[in-house]
Amino acid sequence: MLVGGSGLPRGTMIQHRIGRRFELIEQARTGGSSSVYRARDRATGHTVAVKILDADPKIDPRRVAREAQALAAVSAPGVARLIEHGATAAGQPYFVVEWLEGELLADRLAAGPLPRADAIRVAGEIALALGALHGLGIVHRDVKPGNIVLCPPPRGATLVDFGAAGIAGATRITTGGLGTPDYMAPEQAAGRPPDPRMDVYALGCVLWECLTGSRPPAGEVPADLAPLCERLLAVDVPIRPPDGNFVARALERVAGSDP
């Protein structure tokens, strides 16, 4: 039986099976409360990604199931497609999603900021992905460069890792993870119920970092983008745009005004 967070180094070959159809091949990465594996779908022969959360008595399996069903209804290029979800015999929730070929935005930013046009494009693509989620009442709650894959065209930037996702307005936490402090809205850090404007704040942090190479408030964004960034990062929640679609439209206007 596989145990999430087992500490296997990246690339370690393993021979475990999840569910009836997924053969784990190797560990791709591990985080504080989960591990992601490259796996083979025996039903289709395709490569998939399997994320296994550490066992946590605070996890409500019924909420995980409801949220996974909601994610399965999302059909947007910027959202990794959910294939299956369930729990291991040890009670660890797992999610199976499509395997994406590309580079993590976090790795790209390690070399410095993106060109202005690329920064706006990436943020706009993720804003559209968030808009699709928000339209279904889903709040990602962990938008950050490490959860954005830069896929080749026509796919573009794609949002992954829904281990912290929640239903807007819900009062309970789905998983032990609440998000990542450097990209977390103040009200999220305070334990408030999921709200799309939490993702808007996090996207503001990502846009700022794409433009400057630094997390806010370090660095300086272009003057014409400063008002939008200030709205995205507003501590006063009502000042922020209401959802990802609003942000996507605002970024489209900015891109359209560029020479």
Which residues are annotated as catalytic? 142
Contact (Cβ atoms closer than 8 angstroms) between residue 130 and residue 242: no
Closest CA to 145 of 215, 87, 95: 215
CA dihedral 177→80→111→9, nearest 10 degrees, is 60
| Reduced DSSP (H G I as helix, E B as strand, rest coil) percent helix, strand, coil of the chain, to 5 | 35, 20, 45
Burial class (CB in 10 A: 0-12, 13-18, 19+), 86: middle
Inter-CA distances, 154 with 16, 121, 144, Å: 34, 13, 22
Q: Are 250 and 256 in contact (CB under 8 A)?
A: no
Among 108, 186, 95, 96, which Cα is nearest to 145's?
Answer: 108
- Residue 107 is inside which H or E element, if any? helix 105-109
